[in-house]
Structure 1
Amino acid sequence: MRQFYAAFMVAAFALCIGAGLGYWQTASLTGVLMGVEAVAILALMETAESMDNAIVDYGILKTMSPQWQRRYMSWGMPISVLGMRFLFPILLVAIVAGLSPWQAARLAMMEPQRYAHIMLGARDMIASFGGAFLLLIALNYFLDDDKTHHWVTWVEKPVARLGGVPALPVGVTLAVLMGVSRLMAPGHDPLAFLFWGCGGIVAYILGKEVLVWLIGEPGAAPLMMKGGLLSFLYLEFIDASFSFDGVISAFAITTDPIIIALGLGVGAMFVRSMTLSMLKTNALAEYVYVEHGAFYTILILSLLMLCGVLVSVPEWITGLVGLLLIGGAFLASLAHKRQG
């Protein structure tokens, strides 16, 4: 429980700021309640939808030194909240609208409705980049012929045998991007969708494969220190990919960029606290299928993100899928534990 103390303190601070902003904007008790409600809803939404993120982070963190594990919170939280939840939407709006970052920031503060409209207009690009990146994460997990545990055996065993085929995950991801782009309705830009999807593939290869190559090299302490930094940056990039959809969805609740950063930041804090708690107790070692449930969730989330340009997918579906898959994997792990 100690790992969650900081998260509860940050939540209390964020709710107070939300209340203050609500009063400043409306000078009424209703505004105070609306500010608190928006922060709370966004925090709950981010926490509920990021259980798979916590499990994936755990798998990377357990390979890192205690020093870098601590930096996951001390350095990682400002990057996660200020970088991804506040600066990223502003920079994206600046790119899409052809504005300077300062103009985009001013637009966010002075004209939040127009800012939200531009941000929502970039949904296809974000979905393509983030969806391709997450799809590669999931495919590389399942297309692994060294895996020893399989949850859905009749699916995972045959798929795992294909892990020896070079570049198969990249080929599958490109095929999905091409298929979705062909089905896009008028008003969408298939070339932009493919461009940003290929950007997600490149980012994964540069982030993951170069990282594995560097850390796999035997060498001196400076190289290992560099490897720790690269692992940390890769971890932050994964967190950013998971949060793409949440940042866009937040505009359905409020257009205030500060409230969005506060609410999603509280959720990110609880997710990271959850990850550290799992790391401290080594809980996943006892529940062998929970990791499988998380990666099935990532697989479906990535496909929903990519197919979201074709059909509207309600946000509650993503959360429900994650809850059912991770919950089912947990129950299967309990049954396996009793049998073993």
Structure 2
Amino acid sequence: MRHFYPAIIVSVVALLIGVAFGYITQPSVAGALLGAESVIILALMETAESMDNAIVDARILKTMTEKWQKRYLTFGMPVAVLGMRFLFPAVIVSAIAAITPWQAITLAFKEPHHYAEIMTSAKNNISAFGGTFLLMIALSYFIDEDKEEHWLTWVEAKAARLGGVSGFSAGVTLLALLVTSFAVADLRQRCDILLWGGVGIVSYILIKEVLSWLIGDAQSTNTAMRGGFLTFCYLEFIDGSFSFDSVISAFAITNDPVIIAAGLGVGAMVVRCMTLAMLRSDTLAEFAYVEHGAFYTILILAILMLASILHDIPEWLTGSIGLVLIGGSFVASVWKNKQNAHSP
């Protein structure tokens, strides 16, 4: 429970922010309660959709020093809340509306409805980028010759053997992007989807390759520090990819950018605390298939993000799939532990 104290503190502060800004928008008790309600809904939505993120982060954090693990919670939180949940939407609005980021932030407070319209208009480009990036993460986990532990053996064992085919994950992701983009009738929109999806693929390859090169050569303390910093950046990048759909969906609940940042920030802090709790208790080693469930969830999330370019995907579906897959992998892990305990 001690790992979740920061999340409790952030939740209280976020609720107070929700009450204050709800009252500013609508000076009444109802307005204050509506602000608090929005924070709670956003926090629950972000937490439910990010359980797989916590498991993936715990896996990566195991490769970092204790110092960088602590920095992930302290320095990573402002980056997650102010960067991805507040400034990132402003940068997108700035790029689309051809205005400065400061003008975009001003627009968010003065004309929140117009700000929300501009932000949601970029949904397809964001889904293309996030979908390809997350698909690369999921495929790189399953398509790996060195992967020995399998949950759904009949699928994973065959997929693992494909790891010997160079560039297979990138090829499959590019194929999925091409199929999605050519299903879009508008030519300009199709080009935008191809561009941002391609940026997602290239970003993953560059970050992963640079990260592997630095960590692989980490013989000196200086290089290890650089590797720790890059891993930290990689974690923040993954967190951002997971939050793309949440940031877009948040505008369906409220147009207030501060309430959105506060609500999603609570979810981000809960995920970070959950990650550290799993890391300290070595949950991934104790429950062997939970990690598999998380990556299956990422795989489905990536597919749904690409599919959302063509059809509206309800938020409850994404969260439900994650809960079912991670819950199923947990039950399978418990069953395996019982079998091992009774085996001679």
TM range (shorter): over 0.9
The percent of aligned pairs where both chains have the same amino acid is 59
For the pair 1:29 / 2:41, whether they are aligned, the reply is: no
- CA gap of 1:187–1:206, structure 2 versus 1, over 3 A, is closer
What whole-Å deviation, never above 9, does each CA across 1:251-303 have from its counterpart, x for those lacking one?
01001000000000000000000000001111121110000000000000000
- Tell me the C-alpha RMSD between the 2 structures: 0.9
For the pair 1:335 / 2:335, whether they are aligned, the reply is: yes
Q: Which residue of 2 aligns with 1:182?
A: 182
- 1:18-97, aligned counterparts within 5 Å? 18-97=18-97
Return 180-189 or 15-24, whichever deviates more: 180-189
- Whole-angstrom CA distance in 2 between matches of 1:176 and 1:287: 32
Return 183-192 or 19-28, whichever deviates more: 183-192
Q: Which residue of 2 aligns with 1:161?
A: 161
TM, length-normalised to structure 2: 0.97
For the pair 1:138 / 2:135, whether they are aligned, the reply is: no
Q: Which residue of 2 aligns with 1:196?
A: 196
Return 243-252 or 217-226, whichever deviates more: 217-226
What whole-Å deviation, never above 9, does each CA across 1:188-238 have from its counterpart, x for those lacking one?
701000000010011101111111011101432111111110010011101
Counterpart contact for 1:43–1:266, Cα < 8 Å: yes
What whole-Å deviation, never above 9, does each CA across 1:92-133 have from its counterpart, x for those lacking one?
110111111111111111000000000000001100001000
- Whole-angstrom CA distance in 1 between matches of 2:67 and 2:89: 31
Q: Which residue of 1 aligns with 2:112?
A: 112
Q: Which residue of 2 aligns with 1:241?
A: 241
What whole-Å deviation, never above 9, does each CA across 1:166-198 have from its counterpart, x for those lacking one?
111010110000001111144870100000001
- Whole-angstrom CA distance in 2 between matches of 1:220 and 1:160: 33
For the pair 1:310 / 2:310, whether they are aligned, the reply is: yes
Amino acid at match of 1:241: S
- Whole-angstrom CA distance in 1 between matches of 2:141 and 2:219: 27
Counterpart contact for 1:128–1:196, Cα < 8 Å: yes
Amino acid at match of 2:198: C
Could you tell me how far 1:26 is from its partner in structure 2?
1.4
- Whole-angstrom CA distance in 1 between matches of 2:12 and 2:261: 15
Could you tell me how far 1:89 is from its partner in structure 2?
0.1
Tell me the SS of whatever aligns to 2:146. coil
Q: Which residue of 1 aligns with 2:256?
A: 256
Consecutive unaligned residues in structure 1, runs of 5 or more: none
- Whole-angstrom CA distance in 2 between matches of 1:187 and 1:29: 49
Counterpart contact for 1:185–1:310, Cα < 8 Å: no
- Whole-angstrom CA distance in 1 between matches of 2:113 and 2:187: 21
Q: Which residue of 2 aligns with 1:6?
A: 6
Tell me the SS of whatever aligns to 1:189. helix
Misfit runs of 4+, over 4 Å: none
**Residues matched between the structures, number:** 340
Amino acid at match of 1:63: T
Amino acid at match of 1:125: N
Counterpart contact for 1:11–1:266, Cα < 8 Å: yes
Counterpart contact for 2:218–2:227, Cα < 8 Å: no
- Whole-angstrom CA distance in 2 between matches of 1:286 and 1:15: 35
Q: Which residue of 1 aligns with 2:319?
A: 319
- Whole-angstrom CA distance in 1 between matches of 2:116 and 2:248: 9
